[in-house]
């Protein structure tokens, strides 16, 4: 790990300014992803701004019946919150499907959104990776790609977004609140938060340097059956090959987001509209234009079967 300087922020705007004014600065929250990447010298910040004193750890009702989740709320606290368990059950189930209990105790809401890909070539500094070193090439393209993306990819990157929580947030139409160095705030729909790789796979989100996530807001509850199913290579502490976050109403309408298949949580309006017609129709719409590799083409069938199992779970609930 390389040497770096450190400070503890006392305000959100101050934290944003501290990072914005240092080209090599990063925010430090729970640290469950960043510190690992620093040890491997994949991330090499010269300055860390610790946000643990900013009181961003509250879960509060909003005026319109929704829920505002502070950026520093731990995954454990969020998944156990009574309102989340009652009104946004797909979120509780997604969080509890991720990582381990120890990591969920430290991992934060904002940090979960910002975690970087677990593509093995990204983590292997002996291999070329455009996400890690722009312009170096992508060893995954033409390499072993079983766990990687089948849709939303580009000629520069086929890595997947690894998280579970954001897949549920995508199904719930959450928004992300931020503040910048000037104190200006903005609200970003979760659908727009993560970027597709295009020609710049090293840029994971639409955040500007120094822009700090302060909260994630959920709209008022939509009701219906909430299902999260995750298929992985082992029963715990593993990332999804395919995951499905589904919210289905009694009339058969609903919304569905997929994880483990794209560089961001994957959802489409056409796929949502196809829910009454069954899993095959949903997957056909959701994965129109997919570009799977020889190693991961099975994910299209797996997505259909995982969604079918989720929909069967809805019918028997």
* Average pLDDT of the residues in 80-105: 96
**Alpha carbon 138 to its chain's center:** 22
pTM comes to 0.97
- Which residues are within 8 A (CB) of 73 and not within 5 positions of it... i.e. 6 or more apart? 56, 57, 58, 59, 108, 109
What is the rounded distance in angstroms from the CA atom of residue 232 to the CA atom of residue 230? 6
Backbone phi, psi, residue 178, to 5°: -135, 165
Q: What is the predicted pLDDT for the residue at 317?
A: 63
pLDDT tens for 173-201 read 999 999 999 999 999 999 999 999 999 99
Q: Within 13 Å and on the Cβ side, how many CA atoms surround 35?
A: 9
pLDDT tens for 23-49 read 999 999 999 999 999 999 999 999 999
pLDDT tens for 291-308 read 999 999 999 999 999 999
- Which residues are within 8 A (CB) of 227 and not within 5 positions of it... i.e. 6 or more apart? 90, 93, 244, 245, 246, 247, 248, 310, 313, 314
What is the rounded distance in angstroms from the CA atom of residue 160 to the CA atom of residue 125? 18
**Alpha carbon 302 to its chain's center:** 20
* Average pLDDT of the residues in 227-251: 95
Q: Which of 259, 262, 307, 261 is nearest to 282 (CA)?
A: 307
Q: What is the predicted pLDDT for the residue at 98?
A: 93
Q: With pLDDT > 70 as the criterion, what percentage of the chain qualifies?
A: 100
What is the rounded distance in angstroms from the CA atom of residue 47 to the CA atom of residue 44? 9
Q: Which of 298, 283, 293 is nearest to 119 (CA)?
A: 293
* Average pLDDT of the residues in 93-115: 95
* Average pLDDT of the residues in 310-314: 92
* Average pLDDT of the residues in 123-135: 97
**What's the whole-number average pLDDT of the chain?**
96
Checking if the pLDDT of 314 tops 90, the result is no
Q: With pLDDT > 90 as the criterion, what percentage of the chain qualifies?
A: 96
- The helix-helix angle for 279-286 and 298-316 (nearest 10°) equals 140
pLDDT tens for 134-149 read 999 999 999 999 999 9
For the chain, the helix, strand and coil percentages under 3-state DSSP, each to the nearest 5: 30, 20, 50
Q: 292: helix, coil or strand?
A: coil
């Amino acid at each position: 790990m390389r040497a770096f300087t450190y400070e503890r922020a006392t305000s959100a705007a101050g934290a944003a300014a501290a990072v914005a004014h240092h080209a090599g600065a990063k925010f430090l929250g729970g640290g469950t992803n960043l510190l690992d990447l620093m040890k491997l010298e994949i991330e090499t910040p010269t300055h860390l701004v610790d946000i643990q004193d900013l009181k961003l750890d509250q879960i509060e009702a909003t005026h319109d019946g929704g829920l505002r989740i502070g950026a520093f709320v731990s995954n454990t606290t969020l998944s156990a919150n009574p309102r989340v368990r009652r009104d946004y059950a797909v979120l509780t189930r997604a969080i509890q499907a991720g990582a381990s209990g120890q990591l969920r105790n430290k991992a934060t809401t904002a940090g979960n959104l910002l975690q970087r890909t677990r593509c093995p070539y990204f983590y292997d500094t002996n291999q070329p990776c455009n996400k890690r070193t722009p312009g170096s090439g992508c060893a995954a393209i033409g390499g072993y790609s079983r766990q990687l993306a089948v849709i939303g990819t580009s000629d520069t990157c086929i890595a997947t977004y690894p998280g579970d929580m954001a897949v549920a947030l995508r199904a719930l139409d959450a928004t992300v609140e931020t503040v910048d160095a000037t104190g200006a705030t903005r609200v970003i729909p979760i659908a727009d938060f993560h970027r597709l790789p295009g020609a710049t796979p090293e840029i994971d989100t639409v955040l500007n340097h120094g822009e700090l996530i302060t909260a994630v807001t959920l709209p008022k509850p939509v009701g219906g059956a909430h299902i999260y199913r995750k298929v992985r290579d082992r029963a715990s502490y593993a990332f999804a090959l395919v995951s499905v976050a589904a919210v289905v109403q009694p009339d058969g309408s609903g919304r569905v987001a997929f994880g483990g298949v794209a560089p961001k949580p994957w959802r489409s309006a056409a796929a949502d509209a196809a829910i009454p017609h069954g899993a095959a129709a949903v997957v056909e719409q959701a994965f129109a234009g997919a570009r799977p590799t020889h190693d991961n083409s099975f994910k299209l069938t797996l997505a259909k079967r995982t969604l079918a199992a989720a929909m069967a779970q809805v019918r028997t609930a």
